[in-house]
Chains A and B, each alone.
Chain A
C-alpha cells in the first residue's frame, strides 16, 4: 500500500497547513490528493489480484477510468448488486461505505480542481480527509470478502453486465 498510503498521509499534511489561515491551494490539493489516495488504493488492490506477469499489471492499472469507477461505486452503495450474471450479491456495509467515499471524493476533487467559485474550509477538508482515512479502514475490513472482488472488476468495467 505504498503510493496510496503516502498520498493519504500527504492529504492529511496539506489539510493541516497554514494553521491560522489555510490557503485555498493547500485545501484544494488536500481534497484532490485524498481522492487520488483512494483511487490508487483500489487500483493497487485490483492489479494485485492479477496473477499474470507483473509488468502487465501496469497496463491493467492504466485501464481504469474515473467515469467507470463512478458508475460502479454508485451501484455498490446499495445493499444488493445484481451481479455480472444476474446473481444477486449482498454488499457488506464496509464496502458500501468505500463506494460512497469514492463518489463523494471524486465529486469534491472535480470541484477542487476546476471550480473557481468554490470556497473550501479547513473543517470541510479535514472532514473529507477523515472520510478517506475511514475508507481505507473499511476497505481493510472487507477486502477479502468476495463482494470486494466484484467491486474491483466493476470499477474497471463501469458496472457493465451481461445484457
Chain B
C-alpha cells in the first residue's frame, strides 16, 4: 500500500497508520493532522501538522528527539520514500496554537 494516488480507502489507511504512530508516542504528541496536496514546486506532497505538548516543545532536547523520531516513523510507516509523494512536517506547541488559533491545527 502506498499513497501516491490517494483514494478514500487510501485515506482511511493513511489515517490508521498515522494514528498508530501517534499512539506510539503517547503523551509526547497531542495530535497529527495532514493534507494531501502539492508542494511549492507542484510535486505531490503530504503536509503534516504535528501538535506538541508544551512539556516537549519547551525542552530543547526532547523537542529534537521527538520531532526527529516522529518524522522518521511517519516516513517509514507510510512508505513515503517510494511513494512519489514528498513529506513536509510542521510543528507547533499547544500554547502557540492556543495563541494563533489556526483551525487547520485543531
The interface of chain A, by Cβ under 8 A from chain B, is 67, 70, 74, 77-79, 96-97, 100, 103-104, 107-108, 110-111, 119, 121-124, 126-127, 130-131, 133-134
CA distance A131 to B40 in the complex (A): 20
Whether the Cβ atoms of B68 and A121 lie closer than 8 Å is: no
Instruction: Known A123-B57, A127-B63; judge A134-B89 contact (CB<8 A).
Output: no
Give the contacting residue for A104; candidates B41, B89, B93; CB below 8 A: B89
Instruction: Name the residue on B nearest A96 (C-beta).
Output: B81
Chain B, interface size category, equals 20 to 34
Instruction: Name the A residues within 8 Å of B25 (CB-CB).
Output: none
Instruction: Known A130-B68, A134-B68; judge A121-B40 contact (CB<8 A).
Output: no
Beyond A121-B92, A124-B90, list 9 extra A-B contacts (CB 8 Å): A74-B43, A74-B86, A78-B82, A79-B81, A122-B57, A123-B52, A126-B60, A127-B91, A131-B68
How many whole Å from A11's CB to the nearest CB in chain B?
14
Instruction: Known A123-B57, A126-B63, A131-B67; judge A104-B88 contact (CB<8 A).
Output: yes
CA distance A79 to B83 in the complex (A): 11
Instruction: Name the B residues within 8 Å of A100 (CB-CB).
Output: 71, 75, 87
Give the contacting residue for A130; candidates B63, B86, B96; CB below 8 A: B63
Whether the Cβ atoms of A124 and B91 lie closer than 8 Å is: yes
Whether the Cβ atoms of B96 and A121 lie closer than 8 Å is: yes
Whether the Cβ atoms of B67 and A121 lie closer than 8 Å is: no
Q: List 7 A-B contacts (CB under 8 A).
A: A77-B86, A103-B39, A111-B40, A123-B57, A127-B91, A133-B64, A134-B64
The interface of chain B, by Cβ under 8 A from chain A, is 39-41, 43, 52, 57, 60, 63-64, 67-68, 71-72, 75, 80-82, 86-93, 96, 100, 102
Instruction: Name the residue on B nearest A21 (C-beta).
Output: B99
How many whole Å from B95's CB to the nearest CB in chain A?
9
Q: Which 7 A-B pairs have the closest CB atoms?
A: A123-B57, A130-B64, A121-B96, A127-B67, A127-B91, A123-B93, A78-B81
CA distance A17 to B40 in the complex (A): 28
Instruction: Name the residue on A nearest B72 (C-beta).
Output: A97
How many whole Å from B13's CB to the nearest CB in chain A?
20
CA distance A121 to B91 in the complex (A): 8
Whether the Cβ atoms of B41 and A67 lie closer than 8 Å is: yes
Whether the Cβ atoms of A123 and B82 lie closer than 8 Å is: no
Instruction: Name the residue on A nearest B70 (C-beta).
Output: A127
How many whole Å from A31's CB to the nearest CB in chain B?
11
Whether the Cβ atoms of B81 and A122 lie closer than 8 Å is: no
Whether the Cβ atoms of A79 and B82 lie closer than 8 Å is: yes
